[in-house]
């Protein structure tokens, strides 16, 4: 659906050259909700703008629906862009126009007739839950309502692809959740492919199926949400994952490690194993006490995922046997003896 092939973007600002995007390869399949995460300045917005050629890549190809957008005429490009819509962090609404007219705007540009426009706008207002607000102006709306207008406007021309640039970054957590729900509904009901860029890992966790981590213009890691969240490879991905997974070991527990005689481990459970009472089995089979110090069980893409910090207490050899037993068990993904 969207294929970026060796895409780079270099900005010339005076004497200086800034490489905002560097040799990026990215494939977004039809129907995906794909997230790109990175810190501010990583090159995310530039990358997103390369997808619809708002930013022309310095090198590389942008293939959308099998068409190389870097190689077609400007007329053809305008045509192709109609199927790619954008949603912005600060909504970019026309302040002097009512909600209704903001949503009607792209349809008027496309030369649709009045009854068609009314039909479509009413339908979209209903879909985003703003039927009552049609006659209001943007400054009479909350942030969440403004973003719903932005989203309805983006959907007006029935796009195949929705590009979201930090669409929830200006919103409070509750409003963010409701906008993310709306994006999921759009993906499900209208079968629209969604590419989201954000610096908020919880957005990625809650709505995306796949993720790429971007740093200094490059994609340094990518994969399914489950793979990246359960086993992040790079330091940056690990930090992003930690920011939402509550898997950092609290200071009070790290403090316990100063005592060499304590045996503290990180245990990671995946899928069905989260429902299996492995730790109580261990306590029964061996002469050890299992003390859960910290952790949680959450869901990633509907798969249970548990991350626990435990302490084993008992004689050294019993602890070793218990450790071996846990390690052999299919339910266990990883035990880190130094708990760090
Ligand atoms: N039009 C531009 N001219 C010059 N430099 C730019 C331009 N747009 C972005 N940059 C630079 O490119 C880098 C990436 O920016 P951006 O894509 O906005 O990152 P992000 O969205 O991840 O915060 C930054 O260093 C930024 O200053
Ligand atoms: Mg940005």
Q: What is the pLDDT of residues 68-83, one digit of tens each?
A: 999 999 999 999 999 9
Could you tell me the residue ranges of all domains in the chain?
A: 2-244, 251-336
**Is the separation of the CB atoms in 261 and 305 below 8 Å?**
no
- Report the residue count for the chain: 340
Is a pLDDT exceeding 90 seen at residue 217? yes
Q: What are phi and psi for residue 271, nearest 5 degrees?
A: 65, -135
Q: Are strands 303-314 and 288-300 parallel, antiparallel or unpaired?
A: antiparallel
CATH topology of domain 2-244: Rossmann fold (3.40.50)
CA of 44 to the centre of ligand 2 (A): 6
Exposed / middle / buried, residue 162 (Cβ in 10 Å: 0-12, 13-18, 19+): buried
Exposed / middle / buried, residue 315 (Cβ in 10 Å: 0-12, 13-18, 19+): exposed
Mean pLDDT on 260-281: 75
Is a pLDDT exceeding 70 seen at residue 333? no
Q: Which residue's CA lies nearest to atom 2 of ligand 1? A: 11
Is a pLDDT exceeding 80 seen at residue 276? no
Is a pLDDT exceeding 50 seen at residue 330? no
- Roughly how many angstroms between the first and final C-alpha of the chain, as a whole number? 40
Q: Which residue's CA lies nearest to atom 4 of ligand 1? A: 11
Q: Residues of the chain with pLDDT > 70: what percent?
A: 93
3-class secondary structure, 269: strand
Q: Residues of the chain with pLDDT > 90: what percent?
A: 70
Mean pLDDT on 151-171: 96
Which residues fall within 8 angstroms of residue 129, CB to CB, at 6 or more apart? Answer: 148
Q: Which residue's CA lies nearest to atom 17 of ligand 1? A: 43
CA of 12 to the centre of ligand 1 (A): 11
Q: What pLDDT is attached to residue 242? A: 84
Task: From the CA of 165, give the closest atom in ligand 1.
Answer: 21
> Check: CATH 3.40.50.10490 for 251-336?
no
Q: What is the pLDDT of residues 21-55, one digit of tens each?
A: 999 999 999 999 999 999 999 999 999 999 999 99
């Amino acid at each position: 659906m969207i294929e970026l092939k060796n895409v780079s973007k270099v900005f010339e600002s005076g004497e200086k050259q800034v490489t905002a995007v560097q040799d990026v390869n990215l494939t977004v399949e039809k129907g995906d909700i794909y997230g790109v995460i990175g810190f501010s300045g990583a090159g995310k917005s530039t990358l997103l703008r390369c997808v619809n050629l708002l930013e022309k890549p310095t090198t590389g190809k942008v293939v959308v629906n099998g068409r190389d957008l870097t190689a077609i005429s400007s007329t053809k490009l305008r045509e192709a862009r109609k199927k790619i819509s954008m949603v912005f962090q600060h909504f970019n609404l026309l302040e002097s126009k009512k909600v209704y007219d903001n949503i009607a705007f792209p349809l008027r540009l496309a030369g649709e007739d009045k009854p068609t426009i009314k039909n479509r706008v009413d339908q979209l207002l209903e879909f985003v839950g703003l039927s009552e607000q049609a006659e209001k102006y943007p400054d009479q709306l909350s942030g969440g309502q403004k973003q719903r207008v932005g989203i309805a406007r983006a959907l007006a021309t029935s796009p195949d692809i929705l590009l979201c640039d930090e669409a929830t970054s200006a919103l409070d957590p509750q409003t963010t959740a409701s906008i993310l729900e709306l994006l999921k509904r759009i993906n499900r009901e209208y079968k629209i492919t969604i590419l989201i860029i954000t610096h908020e890992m919880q957005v990625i966790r809650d709505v995306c199926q796949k993720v790429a981590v971007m740093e200094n213009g490059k994609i340094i890691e990518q994969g399914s949400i489950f793979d990246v969240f359960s086993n992040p490879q790079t330091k940056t991905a690990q930090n992003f994952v930690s920011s939402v997974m509550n898997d950092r070991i609290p200071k009070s527990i790290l403090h316990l490690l100063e005592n060499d005689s304590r045996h503290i481990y990180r245990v990671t459970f995946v899928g069905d194993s989260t429902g299996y009472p492995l730790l109580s089995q261990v306590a029964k089979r061996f002469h050890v006490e299992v003390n859960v110090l910290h952790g949680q069980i959450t869901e990633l893409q509907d798969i249970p995922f548990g991350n626990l910090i435990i302490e084993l207490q008992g004689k050294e050899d019993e602890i070793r046997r218990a450790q071996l037993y846990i390690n052999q068990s299919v339910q266990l993904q990883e035990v880190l003896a130094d708990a760090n």
